[in-house]
Chains A and B, each alone.
Chain A
Amino acid sequence: MLETLQNLYLGFSVALSPAAFLYAVVGCVIGTIVGVLPGIGPLAGISLLLPASFGMDATSAIILLAGIYYGAMYGGSTTSILMRIPGEAASVMTCIDGYEMTRKGRAGPALAIAAVGSYIAGTVSVVGLMLLAPPLAAFALRFGPPEYTALLLLGLLVLAYMTGGSISKSLAMAALGLLLGMIGIDPMTGFFRFHYGIVELGDGIGVVPVAVGLFGLSEILLTAGQETPPKVMQPRLADLLPSREEWRDSTWPIARGTVLGFLIGIIPGSAHIIASFVSYAVERRVSKHPERFGQGAIEGVAGPESANNSATSGAFVPMLALGVPSGPIPAVMLAALMVHGISPGPLLIQQQPELFWGFIASMYIGNVVLLILNLPLVGLFVNILRVPYPLLYPAILVFCVLGVYAVNSSVVDVWIMIVMGALGYLLRKFDFETAPIVLGVVLAPMLEMSFRQSLAMSSGNYAIFIHRPIAVFMLGAGLFLVLLSLLPIFTRRVNWRRLLGLATNSDLEKEDNR
């Protein structure tokens, strides 16, 4: 313990040196901007700034790049809450309840809770990173394809809890998402599927264009179709801060989101997206009033926003402790270290204590900077809502197109976004939820890859999923969740048709009379 404190002292002496501190602040500011702009995510931001970091020393470079990464998680919630446009993929879940809060005039509290939740999650998870990195990293590496498959199946079961509407509609949408996720090159045989001669589709359909289209564009189209234009908001200062009740409702979601996000974050893969999905589902599950979700429940903002932030710290665990590229973003950061002549590997923490502890300390500082930066911005951002819709919406459209284009510099992505916008409009007219589609698109390629890798490992023997303890545990947990949700059918004799949204009126009357 004493050693840790000494190391931390060393770290702070590195991180508080003027240059390092400046780079932490610059990284956080850029990260916030990257997060706010729809489409452009932290990966694009970090890749763009990587060459600029070549001239710095290694510690400054890594502090700057990490600042962009976790700064983007703060900024990502802004457009989700204000305009229903996910600033980056990990903020998709925030759109649902965050935007509903805006429509009820509670945009300020939603943004404030997102910032505070991110701060708490960021800080607490750095403590986890600092104390637990080596043992956790070894554990994270045990996540091979079978474990990943089990985790993703668990993620799919979560779907049943994601939406307030009928389960059959949710499942239909999830199936649509999974089908869309099948587009692209077959990872095991190299066959192209459903590409219709468009090479870009070989890579599958990206999450960002789908999410921006389904959420953002469809919202704009729906608003344009209203007979009476929506009232322009006039946020008052008193409405900017969360009420006491809102603080209380957010406490546990933030705590749960932090722990959950960190644990999911250490697993190699695009975990911060999954972390926010799982957190939302957990909050809805444990809530006493699950019907409030989708109607502007602050828990639906607090949980996922905390989870995606602590997942970023989690992602640094295998990267720093073992030198393992645990996702695309840590891979770029490892590249930055290599360019500076530091070989990232299992010996990094011993060989480069200044780097490791300076980095840890800079994350403590960076999170404080981000909180200070983001809370006053709440007041500024909320004022965007004062802009009349005829001016605001065209501007948002332009940002959506630019942002989506910027991710892969691909016009095909822009078309995907437009098609998804039209599809989202139709689906929402018919009362379908669009979030399960996004989840399906996210999960399908990962699930397919890890499932087939597992079978390749076992030469086609399905027993591999029950021979590995972690996988068995997660599959068991999934099964338990399913049984739990079926329980009311037997104990309280709830009409199962009602659960599926198939109940006829006479069924419902009978039940109500009981």
Chain B
Amino acid sequence: MNRLIIVTFSLYVFLVAPLHARAQEAFPNRPITIAVPFPPGGVADLTARPVAAAMERVLKNPVIVVNKTGAAGAVGMSYVANSKPDGYTLLMALSSISIIPEADKLFDRQPAYTMDQLVPLALISADPTVLVVRGDSPWKSVKELVADAKKRAGEISYSSSGIYGTLHMAMEMFSHAAGIKLKHVPYGGAGPALTAILGGHVDALASGPAVVIPHIKANKLRPLAGWGAKRVASLPEVATFKELGYDAEFYIWAGMFAPRGTPEPVLKKLRDVIRQTVQEPDFKDAMTKLETPIAYLDAPDFQKFWDKDAKMLTDAVKRIGRIEEKK
């Protein structure tokens, strides 16, 4: 009898009680980390920081942004994909989240993560990239650039945020649509890529509008076209590629993800919090200042958006194929 009591008691202590304790812990009770897989100052970083600040106010719980950079974002994304699915580690990813697994496939390597290791929480912003050339360059329109590029195949150069990175993809879609060949000089991030065109080391760049607008105003850069379905609000005179007859559409979007396996109540709570976050006046204000349009979509719509976008990007990666060393 005695033994039975002991066994039951210890069973309770070791098996049942922890479950109780866990169930009673309200989420969140410790700081939440938003991992940004890119260096500070980029689009993902600039979106994550106001999001974190606003989430902190909504949740009354610390929300920290951590830059886990490397391998064009693969390090940070696989970090979140493989972290404990408890809602305390979230990911602020860009469009490139769909590119990396495809590139891994291309090189027959163990993928750093797969897309189904992550569940979408919400789309925060979607910014069409714009094509800029140097202010002192001869090209006044996309047509002139394309005509010149056809004459001198592979001589007009562009910088990008890295091989198979977002800015590389945008350019690849454009050059594919226009049937031209450009010279690609990859850099280690969007910041260095911008520095490169300002220094005159490359001829063209695809970039988010926010960071290039001051340089456009100062006549250092000239916008030629945008990748969006609509024109960029702050650059109303710049036509879209679609208007010009090139089938290229590309957005640098920023969305939040959680590791798959995160409990449903936690996911729901996070989605609610993000919904409130994007309506915070301070957050709206911050995004306006950053000239990054908020394009909030809740998880189900975001999933649809993501599927469509991923298809477009994986097609582009397949087209580029493996980049071989010089023959």
Contacts and interface: CB of A to CB of B under 8 A. Distances in A.
Interface of A: 43, 46-48, 50-51, 54, 141-145, 184-185, 187-192, 197, 199-200, 202-204, 268, 318, 322-326, 328, 331-332, 334-335, 338-341, 343-347, 408-410, 449, 453, 456-457, 459-460
Contacts of B325: 189
Contact of B49 (A50, A203, A328): A50
Given A335-B45, A345-B214, A268 B195 contact: yes
B133 interface: no
B53 A54 contact: yes
A409 B40 CA distance: 15
B74 A335 contact: no
B71 A185 contact: yes
B163 A187 contact: yes
If over half of B's interface residues share one DSSP class (helix, strand or loop), that class is named, otherwise mixed; here it is mixed
B290 A339 contact: yes
Interface in B92-136: 103, 107, 109-110, 112
Contact of A189 (B191, B201, B210, B323): B323
B90 interface: no
A318 B199 CA distance: 11
A54 B40 contact: no
Given A199-B71, A202-B74, A335-B49, A144 B196 contact: yes
Contact of B70 (A189, A203, A347): A203
A344 B324 CA distance: 38
B67 interface: yes
Contacts of A325: 41, 191-192, 194-195
Interface in B147-170: 154-155, 157, 162-164
A204 B49 CA distance: 26
Contacts of A54: 49-50, 53, 286
A47 B42 CA distance: 13
Given A324-B198, A338-B46, A47 B163 contact: no
A338 B290 contact: yes
A346 B214 contact: yes
B30 interface: no
A142 B107 contact: no
B253 to A, nearest CB: 19
Contacts of A323: 214-215
B198 A460 contact: no
B185 interface: yes
B151 to A, nearest CB: 16
Given A190-B163, A324-B195, A459 B41 contact: no
B303 interface: no
5 contacts: A54-B50, A185-B70, A203-B70, A343-B214, A456-B186
A267 to B, nearest CB: 11
Given A335-B46, A335-B49, A459-B154, A184 B71 contact: yes
A145 B197 CA distance: 12
Interface in B37-86: 39-42, 45-46, 49-50, 52-53, 56, 64-72, 74-75, 78-79
B183 interface: yes
B258 interface: no
A424 B290 CA distance: 46
B166 to A, nearest CB: 14
Contacts of A453: 185-187
B179 interface: no
Contacts of A326: 195
A192 B112 CA distance: 11
A459 to B, nearest CB: 7
A31 B210 CA distance: 30
A393 to B, nearest CB: 30
B75 A199 contact: yes
A204 B74 CA distance: 13
A259 B227 CA distance: 45
Contact of B40 (A43, A141, A142): A43
Interface of B: 39-42, 45-46, 49-50, 52-53, 56, 64-72, 74-75, 78-79, 103, 107, 109-110, 112, 154-155, 157, 162-164, 183-188, 191-192, 194-196, 198-202, 210, 213-215, 217-218, 220, 286, 288-290, 322-326
A199 B101 CA distance: 13
A347 B194 contact: no
B83 to A, nearest CB: 11
A335 B195 contact: no
A343 B291 CA distance: 10
A318 B220 CA distance: 14
A339 B198 contact: no
B154 to A, nearest CB: 7
Contacts of A409: 66, 68
A185 B72 contact: yes
Contacts of B289: 338-341
Contacts of A456: 157, 183-186
Contacts of B188: 187, 449
A211 B324 CA distance: 35
A459 B67 contact: no
B75 A202 contact: yes
Contacts of B185: 145, 453, 456-457
Q: Which 3 A-B pairs rank lowest in CB-CB distance, beginning with the nearest?
A: A203-B70, A345-B214, A331-B41
Given A268-B195, A346-B214, A456-B183, 14 more contacts: A46-B40, A50-B49, A144-B199, A144-B201, A185-B72, A199-B75, A203-B70, A324-B198, A326-B195, A339-B50, A339-B290, A345-B215, A449-B188, A459-B183
A343 to B, nearest CB: 4
B74 to A, nearest CB: 6
A182 to B, nearest CB: 15
B23 to A, nearest CB: 28
Nearest to A460: B326
Contacts of B323: 188-190
Nearest to A343: B214
A13 B87 CA distance: 47
A269 B53 CA distance: 29
Nearest to B213: A343
A315 B211 CA distance: 19
User: Which of the listed residues A46, A50, A344 has the most CB atoms from chain B within 10 Å of its own CB?
Assistant: A50
Contacts of B66: 409
B193 to A, nearest CB: 10
A456 B186 CA distance: 9
Given A144-B201, A189-B323, A190-B164, A203 B71 contact: yes
A347 B214 contact: yes
A147 B293 CA distance: 38
A344 B217 CA distance: 11
A258 B71 CA distance: 35
B43 to A, nearest CB: 10
Nearest to A338: B290
A463 to B, nearest CB: 15
Contacts of B218: 345-347
Contact of A199 (B74, B202, B210, B213): B74
Nearest to B184: A456
Contacts of A197: 110
A322 B198 CA distance: 9
Nearest to A341: B289
Contacts of A460: 326
Given A51-B49, A203-B71, A335 B162 contact: no
A182 B324 CA distance: 18
